[in-house]
Amino acid sequence: MYLIIFFILLSITFIFSYLYGGIYVVNQTVETMRIGILTSGGDCPGINATIRGVCKTAINHYGMEVYGIHSGFRGLLDNDIVPLTDKDLTGLLNMGGTVLGTSREKPFKKRTSSTSENKPALMLKNIKNLQLDCIVCIGGNGTQKTAAKLAQAGVNVVSIPKTIDNDVWGTDFSFGFDSAVSIATDAIDRLHSTASSHQRVMVIEVMGHKAGWIALHSGMAGGGDIILIPELEYNIHNIGNTIIERLKKGKAYSIVVVAEGIKTVDGKKAAEYIAQEIEYETGFETRETVLGYIQRGGSPTAFDRNLATRMGGHATEMIANGQFGRMVALQGDAIGSIPLDQAAGKLKLVNEDHDLIVQGKRMGICFG
Ligand code: F6P
C-alpha cells in the first residue's frame, strides 16, 4: 500500500517537473551551491541589510556562489541576474531601499487572453538553465504566496518576511516595521506643537494596508488621543464626544491617528474622511496629514538592521541544511522558521486584546 502511494507521489512529481522544467538540486555540496536572491513587493528599510546578511554568510562562511536577481520575480523571467561578491555587499547595512530593485510581478497570476506567455514555465526553465540551487525570496504577503507556489513547483526556496505593515503571518515582527513606526512617531510628535499652538484637531494617516500595526504602535508612542485601526469598529459620534470632553477638561487640541485601511464611505481616503466628519460633528478646526511613502524610505533603525541581519544569516544556514520551502520567522527572541504554505495567504492582524489597546483604553485613549 505504502509502495503504491510512494510511486503515485513520484509520478506526480515527475509529471510536474516535466511540465515546468525540472527539480532543482543542481550542485551537490554546500561549497558548490549557487544561490539566487531577489526582493519583491514594496520596499522597506532593512532590505539591504538582509541581502548583506544572506550573501556575506553564504560567501564567507559557507563558500557558496551568490547571484543577485533584479526587479523581483521579473528578473527570473528576463534572466536579469548578476554575480555578487563580498565587495558588492559593502555599505549596505544602513542603506534604505533595495540595491536589487523590486517589482510587484506575480508570475503565477492567472493568464488572461492578452498575456499568452506561460510565465511559470519560463521562470522555471530559466532557474534550471542558470543552475540556481536555491532562490531566496525577500518580501511581504504577495511574495510569500509566490514563493510558496515556486516551492510547490519543485524549486528550493527560502523566504524572508519584510514589510513595514508587520502583517506577514507566522513572524512576531518583520523588519521595516520598527523603522516605519519610528518615522510615524516622530511625525506625530511634531504635530503636537502645531496642534497646540492653533488649538486644532490634527488627523494623521499612516500606512499599514489592511492592518493597524503602524497606527497602533506609532499612535501609542506618539501620544495619540484617538487611534483608529481597521481591526476595530469606530463610531464618529463617539470620536466627536471624546474631543468635546477633552476640551471640557482644558485640553484644547487633539491628535487622531488613523490607519489607511479603516472603513470610510464613498472610497474617501482615511484621513480626509475622518477630518471632515470630526469638523462636521464638533465644529472644531481640523487638519489632516497623510504621511505616505516617507514611512518606507531611508535608513533602518538599529532594531531593524539587527533583525534583518539575523534573518539573513539564518536563511543561509537553512539553505546549507537543506531546509527548503520555509519562511524565516522571529519567534519570541529567537529566529526560527515555518513552512511557507502555512504563512502564505494569511494576514496577521491586530487582536482587540493587544496589550497596547488594553492599557491605552484604561488611560482614556479612544479606539473608536
Ligand atoms: O505594503 C507596504 C505598503 O507600504 C502599504 O502600507 C501600502 O498600502 C502599500 O505598500 C502601497 O505601496 P505601493 O504604492 O508601492 O503599491
Q: What is the pLDDT of residues 134-182, one digit of tens each?
A: 999 999 999 999 999 999 999 999 999 999 999 999 999 999 999 999 9
What does the pLDDT look like over 39-65, one tens digit per residue? 999 999 999 999 999 999 999 999 999
Beta bridge partners of 200: none
Query: Which CATH number applies to 34-176+300-343?
Result: 3.40.50.450
Phi then psi for residue 47, to 5 deg, are -65, -45
Q: Helix axis angle, 302-320 relative to 47-56, nearest 10°?
A: 40
Residue identifier of the C-alpha nearest atom 8 of ligand 1: 209
> Is residue 22 pLDDT above 50, yes or no?
no
Q: Do β-strands 65-69 and 81-84 pair in parallel, antiparallel, or remain unpaired? A: antiparallel
Q: DSSP string spanning 50-61?
A: HHHHHHHIIIII
> Is residue 195 pLDDT above 70, yes or no?
yes
Cβ–Cβ < 8 Å for 338, 326: yes
In the reported structure, the alpha carbon of residue 142 is separated from the centroid of ligand 1 by a whole-number distance in angstroms of: 11
Residue 17: pLDDT band by 50, 70, 90 thresholds?
very low
What does the pLDDT look like over 221-243, one tens digit per residue? 999 999 999 999 999 999 999 99
Q: Residue 110 has what pLDDT?
A: 80
Residues 342-367, mean pLDDT to the nearest whole number:
97
- Residue to probe by mutation, ligand 1, list 165, 214, 347, most atoms within 8 Å of CB: 165
* CB 165 less than 6 A from any atom of ligand 1: yes
Q: Residue 182 has what pLDDT?
A: 98
In the reported structure, the alpha carbon of residue 163 is separated from the centroid of ligand 1 by a whole-number distance in angstroms of: 9
Query: Which CATH number applies to 179-296?
Result: 3.40.50.460
Amino acid sitting at position 236: I
Distance of CA 358 to the CA centre of its chain: 26
Distance of CA 30 to the CA centre of its chain: 29
Residues 265-276, mean pLDDT to the nearest whole number:
95
Ligand 1 atom, smallest distance to 261 CA: 8
In the reported structure, the alpha carbon of residue 117 is separated from the centroid of ligand 1 by a whole-number distance in angstroms of: 27
289's enclosing H/E stretch is strand 286-290
> Is residue 320 pLDDT above 90, yes or no?
yes
Residue identifier of the C-alpha nearest atom 13 of ligand 1: 42
Q: What's the sign of the alpha-carbon dihedral 102, 107, 112, 117?
A: positive
Residues 119-128, mean pLDDT to the nearest whole number:
94
Ligand 1 atom, smallest distance to 295 CA: 4
What does the alpha-carbon distance between residue 296 and residue 143 come to, in Å, rounded to a whole number?
Answer: 17
* CB 163 less than 6 A from any atom of ligand 1: yes
Residue identifier of the C-alpha nearest atom 5 of ligand 1: 209
> Is residue 8 pLDDT above 50, yes or no?
yes
Q: CB count, 10 Å around CB of 116?
A: 7
* CB 329 less than 6 A from any atom of ligand 1: no
Ligand 1 atom, smallest distance to 104 CA: 16
> Is residue 2 pLDDT above 80, yes or no?
no
In the reported structure, the alpha carbon of residue 185 is separated from the centroid of ligand 1 by a whole-number distance in angstroms of: 19
Q: How far is CA 240 from CA 2, 13, 42, 205, 282, in A?
A: 67, 61, 35, 18, 6
What does the alpha-carbon distance between residue 259 and residue 215 come to, in Å, rounded to a whole number?
Answer: 5
Q: For residue 348, what are the contacts with CB-CB under 8 A and spacing of at least 6?
A: 166, 167, 168, 169, 170, 171, 211
Residue identifier of the C-alpha nearest atom 16 of ligand 1: 42
Question: Residue 265 corresponds to which cell in the numbers above?
Answer: 464611505
Residue 117: pLDDT band by 50, 70, 90 thresholds?
confident
Residues 288-312, mean pLDDT to the nearest whole number:
98
* CB 162 less than 6 A from any atom of ligand 1: no
Ligand 1 atom, smallest distance to 164 CA: 2
> Is residue 122 pLDDT above 80, yes or no?
yes
Residues 25-32, mean pLDDT to the nearest whole number:
74
* CB 207 less than 6 A from any atom of ligand 1: yes
> Is residue 5 pLDDT above 80, yes or no?
no
In the reported structure, the alpha carbon of residue 120 is separated from the centroid of ligand 1 by a whole-number distance in angstroms of: 25
In the reported structure, the alpha carbon of residue 50 is separated from the centroid of ligand 1 by a whole-number distance in angstroms of: 20
Cβ–Cβ < 8 Å for 293, 189: no
pTM above 0.75, yes or no: yes
Q: Do β-strands 326-331 and 334-339 pair in parallel, antiparallel, or remain unpaired? A: antiparallel
Give domain limits for the chain: 34-176+300-343, 179-296
What does the alpha-carbon distance between residue 46 and residue 9 come to, in Å, rounded to a whole number?
Answer: 40
Cβ–Cβ < 8 Å for 44, 167: no
Catalytic residues: 165
What does the alpha-carbon distance between residue 137 and residue 126 come to, in Å, rounded to a whole number?
Answer: 16
> How would you list the strands of the sheet with 326-331, edge to edge?
81-84, 65-69, 34-39, 134-139, 157-161, 326-331, 334-339
Amino acid sitting at position 257: V
Question: Residue 313 corresponds to which cell in the numbers above?
Answer: 544569516
SS3 category, 162: strand
What does the alpha-carbon distance between residue 206 and residue 366 come to, in Å, rounded to a whole number?
Answer: 17
Instruction: Give the chain's largest Cα–Cα span.
Output: 79
Q: Which of 7-16, 25-34, 351-360 has the lowest mean pLDDT?
A: 7-16
259's enclosing H/E stretch is strand 254-259
Q: Residue 201 has what pLDDT?
A: 98
What does the pLDDT look like over 99-116, one tens digit per residue? 999 999 999 988 766 666
Ligand 1 atom, smallest distance to 141 CA: 1
* CB 42 less than 6 A from any atom of ligand 1: yes
> Is residue 335 pLDDT above 80, yes or no?
yes
User: Mean of the per-residue pLDDT values for the chain?
Assistant: 93
Q: Residue 19 has what pLDDT?
A: 44
In the reported structure, the alpha carbon of residue 42 is separated from the centroid of ligand 1 by a whole-number distance in angstroms of: 6
Cβ–Cβ < 8 Å for 119, 77: yes
Q: Residue 115 has what pLDDT?
A: 61
Question: Residue 168 corresponds to which cell in the numbers above?
Answer: 506577514
Q: Residue 10 has what pLDDT?
A: 54
- Nearest-5° Cα angle at 260, 163 to 262: 120
Q: Residue 11 has what pLDDT?
A: 58
Residue 9: pLDDT band by 50, 70, 90 thresholds?
low
